[in-house]
Structure 1
Amino acid sequence: MHRILKTAFVVGALAVLAAPAAAESAKPTVVLVHGAFADASSWNGVIARLEKDGYPVVAVANPLRGVKSDGDYVGRIVAGIKTPVVLVGHSYGGAVISEAAAETKNVDALVYVAAFAPDKGESAADLSGKFPGSTLAPTLAEPVALENGGKDLYIQQDKFHEQFAADVPAKAAKLMAATQRPITEAALTEGAPGAAWQTIPSWFIYGDADKNIPAKALGWMAERAHSKETVVVKGASHVVMVSHPDKVAKIIEDAASAK
């Protein structure tokens, strides 16, 4: 019995000594936030690669109702995660992560994937119109009236492939068009209440054939945020995470492993 107790004590002591090393080597959780006219499945290819490399992942169902309310929702999810977080946003989701991270303490890095990185008071509409090139407006369907007097916006399904996902196979783009989630018109014109990229290191990736947000606007936002790494994918559409999940996963892992 004495020998068994002694052995148990040694094993327990070794476990305690090993715990700090294990904690130090643990990977941060990657939280993915989709944008307008998309859903969390747009991250599927990225998720598969991150999980293969050992990263825990949460893909949030972004409400797409308003920057402040969406940011608060994502912030509550992030605050409930007991590890450091790499917060990733696509398109309008960039404005959401900028707000969410401003209200939480465990976000170590921000990754903007063809995404808005607004300063306080700036809206998605402001930034997409800052430089010429966006062709989104003419492709929007007739707005859906909401009970509060607002409007929900969709992209016309027959225009979705060319506008939103030109470098995605037609069959996949057709599914994306049918399952797209609407965003309120108010969300796209709401000024950002937070700009976490001012204090949290940021990474950017986007395609040079983006028709929703002009590549020049995306590059300008990356430069303004003093991006740690900016990747421009030649020929990539607005959904670069769908058409080039390997490149998007790579920059997320770069952000996660940065010291």
Structure 2
Amino acid sequence: MHAHPKHKTATPPGRRRRIAALGAAVLAVLIAAVSLAAPAEAHTTKPTIVLVHGAWADSTSWDKVARQLKDDGYRTVTPELGLNSVAEDVAIVRTAVDKISGKKVLVGHSYGGIVTAGASYGRTDISAFVYAAALVPDEGDSIGSLGADFTPSEAFGHLIFTGEPFASPAFIDPAFFHQYFAQDLSNRQAATLSAAQLPLNFPIVTTPSGPVGWHNVPAWYAVSGQDRMIDPAQERWMAARVGATVVEYPTASHVGGITRLASQFTALIEHAVRSTRVG
């Protein structure tokens, strides 16, 4: 018995053209659907978030905020300050920013606000400033002069100097760190932050700031309502002077706004990005 060979039926040219046209139409619809479904962010490059730590801290104080920003698709940079001089720290941050392409958002905690002010001078690539319990100087201001009309921190009576008092690097006595720097954190969390302290060279306190770059740049400021390092009234005054949009964390310690309340502060940074994005 012989098998009969199968014969393929030729598709008429007109039908082939209709099939090709239908395929092209379906492909066009799919492409359009994908384009509509893609978030607007896909067409806009996010700025890099530069997180600048304060005195008696190091870059690990930003760990929770940095992790959440990265989870949300942001690139972060956390330069390590030397805390030897204002000029040296400004140069450290300026060098870090120079290596980043595109727009940047500068975020400063505490003394980090002094540093971001100087490092941003003369730049056009800073889209926003975000501050957490930060010192924000104008040209000629020092840490000491900014606090002259406000309640000073009792923590200054509990410094351990590595050399001549008030002329050398100093730590906050670990026995008092929790009480003044991080009273809203657990003993374990405060001890971890205390162990990470970098000493502040005390002459920084009286060093006047050079030209600053925050004028005419949008700013957001998170006030720590229970700050025992910087008078919350001083924080409100500095925020008003820079024209910042202000939020307040009523129960936050000096560092609580970027640790215990890291999620809220991360959301504030991302709000600043959305508010200043072009395109």
Matched, 1:234 2:250: yes
Give the match for residue 198 of structure 2.
Answer: 181
Displaced runs of 4+ in structure 1, greater than 6 A? none
- Displacement of 1:24: 4.6
Please name the residue that 1:216 is paired with. Answer: 233
Equivalent residue for 1:10? Answer: none
Give runs of aligned pairs for residues 76-95 of structure 1, distance below 5 A.
76-95=95-114
Whole-Å separation in 2 of the counterparts to 1:50 and 1:158: 33
Cα offset for 1:254?
A: 1.3
C-alpha distance in 2, partners of 1:107/1:114?
Answer: 20
Match in the other structure for 2:242: 225
Query: 1:63–1:158: structure 2 CA closer, same or farther, 3 Å change rule?
Result: same
Instruction: Please give the alpha-carbon distance, in whole angstroms, between the structure 1 residues aligned to 2:62 and 2:254.
Output: 13
Say whether the 8 Å CA contact 1:120–1:192 is kept in structure 2: yes
Q: TM-score normalised to the size of structure 2? A: 0.80
CA distance in 1, matches of 2:122, 2:250: 35
Which segment drifts farther, 113-122 or 131-140? Answer: 131-140
Tell me, in whole angstroms, the C-alpha distance in 1 between the residues paired with 2:228 and 2:155: 7
Is 1:30–1:55's contact at 8 Å kept on the other side of the alignment? yes
CA 53–22 in structure 1, closer or farther in 2 if over 3 Å, else same: closer
Aligned to 2:22: none
Aligned to 2:173: 156
SS of alignment partner, residue 259 of structure 2 = helix
Question: Are 2:192 and 1:190 equivalent residues in the alignment?
Answer: no
* Two-structure CA RMSD over aligned residues (Å): 1.9
Deviation per CA, 1:150-174: give whole Å up to 9, x if none.
Answer: 4001100000001100011111111
CA deviation profile, 1:43-101 (whole Å, cap 9, x unmatched): 11101111111110011101112222211220111011012100111100100000001
C-alpha distance after superposition, 1:4-30 (max 9, x if no partner): xxxxxxxxxx9xxx9xx8885121100
Identity of aligned residues (%): 33
SS of residue in 2 equivalent to 1:172: helix
Quote the Cα distance in structure 2 between the aligned partners of 1:193 and 1:45: 31
Give runs of aligned pairs for residues 129-144 of structure 1, distance below 5 A. 129-141=148-160, 143-144=161-162
Q: Aligned equivalents of 1:112 and 1:28: distance in 2?
A: 17
Q: Which residue of 2 aligns with 1:58?
A: 77
TM-score, length-normalised on structure 1?
0.86
Counterpart contact for 2:79–2:92, Cα < 8 Å: no
Picking from 145, 168, 172, the partner of 2:163 is: 145
Gaps of 5+ in 2: 1-30
**Aligned-pair distance for 1:133?**
4.9
Equivalent residue letter for 1:180 = Q
Deviates more, 1:177-186 or 1:155-164: 177-186
Classify the secondary structure of the residue corresponding to 2:108: strand
| Unmatched 5+ stretches in structure 1 | 1-13
Q: CA deviation at 1:124?
A: 1.0
Contact 2:225 2:232 in 1 (8 A): yes
* Alignment partners' CA distance in 1, 2:41 and 2:130: 26
Q: Residue 60 of structure 1: SS of its match in structure 2? A: coil
Paired with 2:147 and 2:230, the residues of 1 have a C-alpha distance of: 5
Partner residue of 1:9?
Answer: none
Q: Is the contact made by 1:32 and 1:59 (CA closer than 8 Å) also made in structure 2?
A: yes
Q: Is the 2:155–2:176 contact (alpha carbons within 8 Å) kept by the matching residues of 1?
A: no
Structural mapping, 1:59-138, within 5 Å? 59-138=78-157
Residue aligned with 2:87, SS = helix
